[in-house]
Structure 1
Amino acid sequence: REVQSNASLRRASELGGELETRLLTLITVTSDYIKTQTLVRADTLGNEVKFAVDAIHEQLDAMLSAANGQDTSGTLEEVESLVNDAIDAVTGSDGVVQLHVSRLELRNQTEKALGKSEEMAANAVSELEQLLNLTNAKVKTLEEQVTSNVSFGTTLVVIIVLASLIIAFFTGYKTVNAITIPLKKV
């Protein structure tokens, strides 16, 4: 009744209806804002959030001015407090906008760190492959040297065995001749 009988409060009530519409716009814009996936898009929608907040401030000021201080119930004071709390929840230092920007920045940093980690892992794998190739080359060289040395050793053993057989044959021949020649004379 007090609102119906007072033109200033009636006008403030009408402006309050428009304030509600602007608050719904802020909710919609904020909802779209938190769905952004890039800082550029967040910046663009952040401007829309600021515009909606400015429009709410203007509407709230117009509503309070229209009431002309004639609200004795404290309702407009309570509405002002609630609206300011809602705006702070969106744009304050720990509000939705700042938290979302922080989240996007952290995600970007994480993606960069992951990329760097993957690059380092790829470099490590490449270096390990180079080390493996070098090791394989050394093993092949050693195998060739061992094979060469074994071949030389085998050849040397054959030569020594043949020389020993020739010396043994010659020694045996001389020994048999040394025994048989004097026996033939007897």
Structure 2
Amino acid sequence: MTQTHRLGCACGQVQLQVEGAPIVSVECCCDSCRAAGDRLQTLPTARPVMEPHGTTRFVLYRKDRVRFIEHAGRLKEFRLTPESKTRRVVATCCNTPVFLEFENGHWLSLYGCLWPEGTLPPLEMRTMTGDLPAGTTLPGEVPNGKWQQVSFFARLLGAWIRMGFRSPKVAVVNGQLHV
């Protein structure tokens, strides 16, 4: 029997379900995630998405294992620039970041703040630590890759193979959010 988890925004209106195990559970340290996190945290009633070290917590799932089940019409996309290949999607009812999506990607990077207390999958690695400001010290309990590690790409490739090299579209987003 496949395990499922129900996740939701801070106010509980937007609900989604994830099926099975995640691809990987990470903290991203890239400039884009830090810039987006800083901007998203300024929205009214927004919860913090940045970790104490300036990282952003994500749990990556195959797109075919994520289902939006309640109030998906409240999702809007935010892009750092109009040319950005990534979009961050926010539940506008309470300004909770829900996921990051790479253009043509086969996975969604779900924000760690969606998991109820004590249920967030354990951190497995940090990526893009080379983008952190000089002098930033990170704990050493997981690998701290200067860029994305080979194991990170291997997991993404493995998930894509299991999906039959498909990249489903996420069509639940309803407009743009300007931050």
Q: Is the TM-score greater than 0.5? A: no
Q: Which one has the largest radius of gyration?
A: 1
Greater RCO (Cα-Cα under 8 Å, separation 6 or more) = 2
TM-score, with structure 2 as normaliser: 0.24
Report the structure, 1 or 2, having the larger strand content: 2
Report the structure, 1 or 2, having the larger helix content: 1
TM-score, with structure 1 as normaliser: 0.23
